[in-house]
Amino acid sequence: MFDRFLKFFLYLALQQKRVVIAVTITITCIAGYLASMIGVDMKWISLLPQSEPVVQEWVDVLENYPMGSNYLIVIESESPVLTEAAVETVTERIEALTDVVITTYGKLDETFLIQHGLRTIKPKDLKRSVDVFSDVRLVPYLTHLNDDFEREFSGDADKVQDQERELVAILAALEDFIVMLDDSAKGIEVSKPLILRSARDLSSGNPYLLSLDKKMGVIPVAVKASSTDWGKQIHVDARIRPVLQEIESSIPGIRIGTTGMIPTARDELESMGPYTFGLTLLALVLVFVLLVWNYRSLIIPLLGIGPILIGIVWSMGFYRLTIIDLNILTAMIMLVLIGLGIGFSIHIITRFYEERSSGRSLEEALEKTVVVTGRGVLASALTTALAFFALMVGDTRGIAEFGFCAGSGVVISLLAIFFILPTLLALRDNRLSRMGKKVESRDFIILGNIASGVTKSRIVYLFIGLVLILTAALQLRELRYEYNLLELEPTGLDSVRLHKEIIKRFKMSAELAFMTVDSVEESRDIARRLKKKKVVGDVDSIDRWIPEDGWIEQNDQLVRNLRGSLEKNNGLNSFGVGRVDTRQALAEQLERLMFNLIEIEELSFIGGQDRVVAAIERVTGGEEQEGKLTGLIAFLEGGSADWKQINSFADHFSESLRDRLLRMVEHEGPVTEEMLPEKLQALYRNPESGRYLVQIYPKKDLYEYDPLVRFVESIDSVSTRIAGTPKLMLLVNEAMVRDGKKALIAAALVIILLLLLDLRSPTAAFTAMVPLVFGTLWMVAMMAVLGIKLNFVNIVAVPVIIGIGVDNGIHIIHRWRQEGVGGIKKATAKVGHAILMTALTTMIGFGSIGFYTHRGMASLGYVLFIGVGFCFISTILVLPLVGSFVEKRIVGQPARRFPEGEKTNHTASSL
């Protein structure tokens, strides 16, 4: 069957050259058009098995709840006021992009907070607020605040942990208040907007999503793009970015960037796009130069490369029809196909000129080339392709699609080569004949000598080989896996920088975990249990805004109490001339505040409440910064404070705070879901399913493996139904490793089966596998030696190297059989030439991947470069050595259905 198949291409090359050219041009044009529409989805999440429940839950939540976790706008400035103003502007402008944006979540609805905020908190906590705010003149206010701190947090590490969010919010507001008081003490008049801002933050809380230092604001954007529609996501980004650039240039002193899954993937694509083109071109040029040197011809390399390029265009067109978009692994498929396809061309070209220079006619030489060498090429290509197809057993889309693309790409490239190359060789041969020229073929005798030398001193080499294998096997223990996906990203990406900056400045990660629940009460229960977990930074769920039924009556009474107190205690501050008592009282309360904060900080430091520690250090001072409160106390003690200005500030502050609180106690009664602002309702509850969303913020950077595992284990102990990015991050790594192993076994089985079918001898089949086994083993050992970690990108190097290794083995065994017993020297000299050229060109092709800025891709390039090199070495050194022990079994068993004439031509060597 194979012979008839190959003879068909021979017939085309000899009899139907014009048809071949016409068909080639037609298919290439159609495929080129299709290929031009192919996209590249660089999101690692796209590699995951879509059937996994956590993936489905992730997709389900992203499709049904307008979360903004995949697209974060980050505003940085040196002034908190400026940051807030920029958040306002960006929110307004971005929400106006109604064709691509659903909504944004950079700011809470202040009207809701004022009207209902107080009644959403627990009666116990509301009672505390009532006590603290009962008299908002400076001294009474600070006294009550200190009482509250001492009562609630003194020596109580549990409470600090439980109320971390509330504590951090109060501390951030206190910091601004202290700065204003300090300014006043120094005679600086504090502006009214700043005082209003402080009153807002101390009463209902800061409504913006600001970092602890308040200089970074984050705006999550819910976009109108399916989580799986990469094309649409890119479109959304293309609409948002110009608006952000315009705002950035119009407001001096701010910097706007984007991060999250979509912007990070965009940055990767932008950093890799030009590289892919440039590196492919570089690889082609280097391969061309090498082939020019080898064939001493400018035309022959073009004959070799042309069909491969055409094959790649055909493959890309095919991908567009099947998988639609490439992913992070299949993005470099062109380079893989060049690496593999060039080998097929080289074997065919080398054999053709070998036959022609031995005096055979064009027809005879082409027949030998297409039918005999073509058979080896076909066998090795099919084995490689099937090994790639075996990767489709993987559950992950990444591995499975890579298997599909590489397998089908090899088959399509092979078809292109068989279809076009013989015709091109025939056309050129005719032209050379007309010109009376002849191409000389060169053998690489040295390769034959090496192979022969190894077999002569085989005991010595066997010993050396065993030592090397043992050393390599020992090195395997040192091989590590890189779980940190950010370590694979290109260096210098702004989205990655912002991701790290958010964790540093918020002391919390934006990589959300989430789950959906049936009711507000279930949401409350889950949130309560999750908040107890040390790994959880915060939980955002609807119960945060909906009080329990039992709270309503108590809260209404407390609201009335506060209203009464505020109406009663409406006097002014009195720090004027002669009021030593109140001045001293203020100083005492500030000192007491500092002591309370220091003691809370000590508890928080030991308990790991880093956000509280950072927030307190900003007020009391720490190892690296001077405390604002410490400075103020020292200044007041110095006796030069401007008490008139302090009094003025205090009056404005008390008045602003009282006014705001009076607005906050105007309403009574329950707070229901329907009273929530629309965007919050939409965020927390899906109207169709009626289910509620609970969002969980991790404390730590989950791109680090240990915190990631710890976080996932911890939230799993609350509910295994919790999904989200952290679980997907763990899954992508674990699934890739699991699939990698599975695919390796499947590929090995397929290869063994095909080799047995092709070579009809277990001994020959296993000998043919020597280059792949040794090449892979040494490659992995060398990775360990060089400190290159395995990762979810370079793990595909293993099947690629298996494909190349088996290719080499098949060619050597086929040729060895043609040369007969004792023919390893000649076989290696002849076919070794093609294998060497294939190895060098492939190393160039794969090595060029090493120049990618994407560190994951670059590592793939290094690994493949090393792997191909070791495959070649083991083909020339180890295969002859191993084969020499069982030569009769290999050579004595001819290949299945050799073409007529070949069986009796072993010693003629086709020369």
Least distance in angstroms from the C-beta of 526 to other proteins: 14
Nearer to other proteins, 306 or 607 (CB): 607
Least distance in angstroms from the C-beta of 670 to other proteins: 30
Q: Give the tokens for residue 629.
A: 């409160």
Rounded-to-integer distance, Cα 719 and Cα 68, Å? 23
Rounded-to-integer distance, Cα 151 and Cα 132, Å? 12
Of 598, 662, 737, 886, the one binding other proteins (CB under 8 A) is 598
Rounded-to-integer distance, Cα 259 and Cα 500, Å? 10
Least distance in angstroms from the C-beta of 478 to other proteins: 23
Least distance in angstroms from the C-beta of 698 to other proteins: 8
Contact segment (CB under 8 A) with other proteins among 6-14, 414-422, 698-706, 813-821 equals 698-706
Distances in whole angstroms, Cα of residue 18 to Cα of each of 23, 24, 28, 424, 653: 8, 10, 15, 11, 90
Rounded-to-integer distance, Cα 521 and Cα 721, Å? 17
- The answer to whether 217 and 74 have CB atoms below 8 angstroms apart is yes
Rounded-to-integer distance, Cα 36 and Cα 39, Å? 8
Least distance in angstroms from the C-beta of 154 to other proteins: 6
Nearer to other proteins, 161 or 408 (CB): 161
Rounded-to-integer distance, Cα 62 and Cα 226, Å? 8
Residue numbers 530-559 binding other proteins by CB under 8 A: 532-537
For residue 836, which of 452, 457, 446, 464 has the smallest C-alpha distance? 446
**Phi, psi angles (nearest 5°) of residue 876:** -80, -35
Q: Give the tokens for residue 737.
A: 């490793």
Least distance in angstroms from the C-beta of 168 to other proteins: 14
Nearer to other proteins, 229 or 716 (CB): 716
Q: Which residues does 651 contact at the CB level (< 8 Å), separation at least 6?
A: 572, 573
Q: Tell me if 593 contacts other proteins by CB under 8 A.
A: no
Contact segment (CB under 8 A) with other proteins among 35-43, 156-164, 421-429, 491-499 equals 156-164
Q: Tell me if 603 contacts other proteins by CB under 8 A.
A: yes
Can you tell me which residue has the tokens 């030439």? 833
Of 64, 358, 557, 714, the one binding other proteins (CB under 8 A) is 714
Contact segment (CB under 8 A) with other proteins among 17-25, 135-143, 433-441, 593-601 equals 593-601
Q: How far is CA 845 from the centre of its chain?
A: 24
Least distance in angstroms from the C-beta of 600 to other proteins: 10
Least distance in angstroms from the C-beta of 253 to other proteins: 34
SS3 656: helix
SS3 217: strand
Q: Give the tokens for residue 187.
A: 């005679």
Q: Tell me if 309 contacts other proteins by CB under 8 A.
A: no
Nearer to other proteins, 518 or 706 (CB): 706
Q: Tell me if 602 contacts other proteins by CB under 8 A.
A: yes
Residue numbers 181-240 binding other proteins by CB under 8 A: none
Q: Tell me if 604 contacts other proteins by CB under 8 A.
A: yes
- The answer to whether 661 and 136 have CB atoms below 8 angstroms apart is yes
Q: Tell me if 711 contacts other proteins by CB under 8 A.
A: yes
Q: x/- binding map, residues 281-300, to other proteins, per CB under 8 A?
A: --------------------
Ramachandran assignment for 155, one of left (phi > 0), alpha (psi -120 to 50 degrees), beta (any other): left
For residue 758, which of 417, 492, 381, 505 has the smallest C-alpha distance? 381
Nearer to other proteins, 535 or 736 (CB): 535
Ordered alpha helix ranges (H), 323-368: 333-357, 362-367
Contact segment (CB under 8 A) with other proteins among 6-14, 241-249, 703-711, 895-903 equals 703-711
Rounded-to-integer distance, Cα 808 and Cα 376, Å? 10
Contact segment (CB under 8 A) with other proteins among 68-76, 119-127, 529-537, 630-638 equals 529-537
Of 595, 635, 885, 898, the one binding other proteins (CB under 8 A) is 595
Least distance in angstroms from the C-beta of 612 to other proteins: 11
Of 606, 634, 745, 753, the one binding other proteins (CB under 8 A) is 606
Of 2, 288, 605, 898, the one binding other proteins (CB under 8 A) is 605
Can you tell me which residue has the tokens 């949130």? 527
Q: Tell me if 720 contacts other proteins by CB under 8 A.
A: no
Q: Tell me if 116 contacts other proteins by CB under 8 A.
A: no
Of 128, 351, 360, 700, the one binding other proteins (CB under 8 A) is 700
Least distance in angstroms from the C-beta of 24 to other proteins: 59
Q: 139 burial class (0-12, 13-18, 19+ CB within 10 angstroms)?
A: buried
Contact segment (CB under 8 A) with other proteins among 264-272, 452-460, 512-520, 594-602 equals 594-602
Nearer to other proteins, 566 or 600 (CB): 600
Nearer to other proteins, 206 or 604 (CB): 604
Q: What does the angle CA 794 – CA 798 – CA 804 come to, to the nearest 5 degrees?
A: 120
Contact segment (CB under 8 A) with other proteins among 16-24, 150-158, 486-494, 669-677 equals 150-158
The count of residues interacting with other proteins (CB under 8 A) is 39
Q: x/- binding map, residues 608-647, to other proteins, per CB under 8 A?
A: xxx-------------------------------------
SS3 40: strand
Contact segment (CB under 8 A) with other proteins among 158-166, 224-232, 751-759, 791-799 equals 158-166
Of 32, 453, 677, 707, the one binding other proteins (CB under 8 A) is 707
Q: Tell me if 156 contacts other proteins by CB under 8 A.
A: yes
Q: Tell me if 148 contacts other proteins by CB under 8 A.
A: no
Rounded-to-integer distance, Cα 216 and Cα 782, Å? 44
For residue 837, which of 305, 398, 180, 60 has the smallest C-alpha distance? 305
Distances in whole angstroms, Cα of residue 353 to Cα of each of 11, 305, 422, 445, 911: 19, 16, 12, 17, 10
Q: Tell me if 155 contacts other proteins by CB under 8 A.
A: yes
Least distance in angstroms from the C-beta of 507 to other proteins: 10
For residue 689, which of 68, 69, 103, 63 has the smallest C-alpha distance? 63
Q: Which residues does 58 contact at the CB level (< 8 Å), separation at least 6?
A: 45, 227, 723, 724, 725, 727, 728
Least distance in angstroms from the C-beta of 592 to other proteins: 9
Of 255, 458, 497, 710, the one binding other proteins (CB under 8 A) is 710
Rounded-to-integer distance, Cα 658 and Cα 643, Å? 22
Least distance in angstroms from the C-beta of 146 to other proteins: 12
Helix count and strand count (H, E) for the chain: 36, 10
Of 32, 39, 231, 607, the one binding other proteins (CB under 8 A) is 607
Rounded-to-integer distance, Cα 594 and Cα 174, Å? 11
Q: Tell me if 499 contacts other proteins by CB under 8 A.
A: no
Ramachandran assignment for 822, one of left (phi > 0), alpha (psi -120 to 50 degrees), beta (any other): left
Hey, how many other C-beta atoms are within 10 angstroms of the C-beta on 757?
Answer: 12
Q: Tell me if 154 contacts other proteins by CB under 8 A.
A: yes
Q: Tell me if 327 contacts other proteins by CB under 8 A.
A: no
Q: Give the tokens for residue 850.
A: 């090493």
DSSP character for 457? T
Least distance in angstroms from the C-beta of 722 to other proteins: 14
Q: What does the angle CA 35 – CA 793 – CA 271 come to, to the nearest 5 degrees?
A: 60
Q: Tell me if 59 contacts other proteins by CB under 8 A.
A: no
Q: Tell me if 161 contacts other proteins by CB under 8 A.
A: yes
Q: 825 burial class (0-12, 13-18, 19+ CB within 10 angstroms)?
A: buried
Residues lying near other proteins in the complex (CB under 8 A): 150, 154-158, 160-161, 532-537, 594-595, 598-599, 602-610, 698-701, 704, 706-707, 710-711, 713-714, 717
